[in-house]
Structure 1
Amino acid sequence: MPDKTALPVPAAGSVPAAGTAAPAPPAPPVRDGGGPRRRTRRHRWPVVVPFFVFLAVCFGLPAGTMVYGAFTVLDPASGTSELSTENVSGSLSGAYATGLTGSVELSAVTALLATVIGALIAQAVVSSPRAGLRGIVVSASGVLANFSGAPLAFAFIATLGTTGTVTQLFHLDRTGFSLYSFTGLVLAYLYFMIPLMVVIVLPALDGLRAQWQEAAASCGATRSQYWRHVGIPVLTPSLVGGAVLMFGTAFASHATAAVMVGSSQPLITIQIANALNGNVLVGQENLALAMSLNMVVIALLVMAVQIPLQRRSTRWLG
């Protein structure tokens, strides 16, 4: 007697293979608010709330106060304040513009020299056959990179000042050299910027694969051709990013220049300190905030250049 149990009928146009089970019906859509992944994200977002609170209190509040003060002018007669661009325009003219230009020039020169010298020292360390040399150089660079400010200024004054040991020993005063000049500031800044550049560029040099140089040599390329066509192009984002970081470091440095040269060299950081302390004119606090705003704008431009370069360097050397 034939079995009359109803069998599933395949859809038109699709014939299942012999011995295979019929496909299972599709699962019903999930309607619980996005599934477990979305619920996990909802449970994680409160973790970052303290971070945003920290940013708002430690960065947002000072930045807002600085911007408000930079665009606020206080009337000494009535004691009222009003919004104005007088402080910003004043910070970009006269002696303050000279100070901003001097800081940019000092930062550019020291960043360029620190990048070139630091990269050469780092390459010498990487290519050296002595295994212990790297540890010594990295340790010394980490210490010297943090030796700045007033202690560094006093050390240079005692060594290369008017009555310094090296000045008296080699009679540098007869050559016209002066520590309390633009050249002296460059030397002092390079003392801690070159070690910092060595620490920064060492990982990038380690990222250069030995196979690249071997492949270039197998194709008949010399060592100089390898560096010109492979090594330097790959390292360029890291080197430029390091130079930008050196620029920002020199641009924000204050204590070393303040102790060494005081107000004899036009620098924006010293002018801000004088305006806040009332050493030149009383009641110029908002003008100091406007000069600080100029520094922040330059720092943001520096960061806008550094971040894409850092990403590109990571993609090549990662």
Structure 2
Amino acid sequence: MTATLPRVDTAPAAAVKRRRRSLGWVAVVPLLAFTAVAFGLPAWAVLDGAFTDKGTGAYTTANLTASLQGAYLTALVGSVKLSAVSAALATLLGLPLAQAVVTSRHRALREAVLTASGVLANFGGVPLAFAFVATLGNAGVLTRHLDLTDKGWDLYSFWGLVVVYLYFLIPLMVLTITPALEGLRVQWREAAQNNGATTAQYWLHVALPVLLPTLLGGFVLLFGSAFAAYATAAAIVGSSVPLITLQIADALSGNVLVGQENVALALSLDMVLVAGLVMAVYLPLQRRSARWLA
């Protein structure tokens, strides 16, 4: 005789799983609705206005063509150049600072630096511009005491704006790279030392190749942050340094030419495309870095 096992009915369990899955979708609906209203509608307005002729209301590519010519193209190139230079310098300066924080034996100092970095990375706009004008402007405290004007310093220039951007980009780089530095395993350094490698050789052949995706990802993140900045540059340099964000503001307000609102939307679309390219580079680099440091 063969014993027969009791039959287990899996239908109720499957029904419970389907019910939970449906309830999960219901819980996500408010988030999807908020995303559609807060991001979808503005994105559609920008896309529709960028391809619409303001006079006739017909769809056209004239706005995009105009956004890539003359002063608008100069402003786009200027924003890319400013963002790239600022991000590169912040990456180079933020890495050793983050390494010093990670290797510090003083826990209080480490927490203080990371906390300050979190605050400074979000400090920008008009308050930051005012602080630099009062400190390093033409009549700033340090400018007068150190005679910086006689030495060629000018806050209201391209390099002056780079220095201002470094104020919040370096702390952002510290916050970005610190988890990756903490993920470097002690065994890797010990193995390199046991094989006769110096500290420089360890960093050149082990640490930096592992950190490279995170460094490049951090650079891309800093580039995007600098590329989207507006209030700080507007308060410091005005129109003396051509930037795409300032051109958008001028076109919307009609400071230069009247009726250029749709060209401003085309410029905004150009910024969205650049930001999309930035994210397309950033996300794969983050995934590759996470595989090494997990």
* TM-score, normalised by the number of residues in structure 2: 0.95
In the alignment, structure 1 residue 147 sits paired with structure 2 residue 123? yes
- What is the aligned partner in structure 2 of residue 67 from structure 1? 47
What do the CA deviations read for 1:150-194 (whole angstroms, capped 9, x no partner)? 111111111111111211112111122211110100000001110
Q: Which residue of 2 aligns with 1:56?
A: 36
2:69 is the counterpart of 1:89 = no
Once residues 99 and 106 of structure 1 are traced to their aligned partners in structure 2, the CA distance between those partners, rounded to angstroms, is 10
Q: Secondary structure at the match of 1:279?
A: coil
What's the offset of the Cα at 1:143? 2.0
Equivalent position to 1:197, from 156, 164, 173: 173
**5 Å matches for 1:247-258?**
247-258=223-234
> Which residue type is aligned with residue 18 of structure 2?
R
The answer to whether 1:284 aligns with 2:287 is: no
- TM-score, length-scaled by structure 1: 0.88
Q: Identify the residue that residue 228 of structure 1 maps to in structure 2.
A: 204
SS, match of residue 149 in structure 2: helix
**Structure 1 CA distance, aligned partners of 2:54 and 2:121?**
42
- For the residues of structure 2 that align with 1:198 and 1:33, how far apart are their CA atoms? 49
Partner Cα distance (1:249, 1:39) in 2: 42
- Which whole-Å CA distance do the structure 1 matches of 2:13 and 2:33 have between them? 28
- SS of equivalent to 1:175: coil
Identity of counterpart residues, as a percentage? 59
Distance 1:234 1:38 in 2: 42
Deviations 1:2-28 (A, max 9, x none): xxxxx45xxxxxxxxxxxxx5648x58
Return the letter of the residue paired with 2:192: A
2: CA distance, partners of 1:84 / 1:219: 65
Distance (whole Å) between structure 1 residues aligned to residue 231 and residue 19 of structure 2 = 51
Aligned length: 294
Q: Which residue of 2 aligns with 1:213?
A: 189
Counterpart residue type for residue 265 of structure 1: V
2:178 and 2:197 map into 1 onto residues whose CA distance is 25
Between the aligned partners of 1:133 and 1:313, the Cα distance in structure 2 is 27
Once the two structures are overlaid, the 10-residue window that deviates more, 280-289 or 212-221, is: 212-221
| Structure 2 residue identity aligned to 1:73 | D
Task: For residue 129 of structure 1, report the CA deviation from its aligned partner.
Answer: 2.5
Pair member with larger Rg:
1
What is the identity, as a one-letter code, of the residue corresponding to 1:253?
A
Structure 1: runs of 5 or more not aligned: 1-6, 9-21
Aligned-residue Cα RMSD (Å) equals: 1.7
Provide closer, same or farther for how the CA distance between residues 129 and 39 of structure 1 changes in structure 2, counting only shifts above 3 A: same
Q: Deviations over 1:187-223 (max 9, x none)?
A: 0000111011111111111111111111222222221
- Give the aligned partner of residue 132 of structure 2: 156
Unaligned runs of 5+ in 2: none
User: In structure 2, do the counterparts of structure 1 residues 165 and 42 end up closer, same or farther at CA, with 3 Å as the change threshold?
Assistant: same
More helix by share: 2
Cα displacement (A) at 1:317:
1.4
Instruction: Identify the residue that residue 16 of structure 1 maps to in structure 2.
Output: none
User: How many angstroms apart in 2 are the aligned matches of 1:74 and 1:185?
Assistant: 35
Equivalent-residue separation in structure 1 for 2:200 and 2:156 (angstroms): 40
| Correspondence 1:241-280 to 2 at 5 A | 241-280=217-256
Query: Structure 1's 276 and 31: CA in aligned 2 closer, same or farther, altered over 3 A?
Result: same
SS at match of 2:259: coil
Partners of 2:214 and 2:121 lie apart in 1 by 19
Provide the residue aligned with 2:153 in structure 1: 177
Q: Which residue of 1 aligns with 2:26?
A: 46
- Letter of the 1:40 counterpart: R
Alignment partners' CA distance in 1, 2:183 and 2:115: 20
Deviations 1:243-301 (A, max 9, x none): 10000000000011101010011000000001111111111111100000000000011
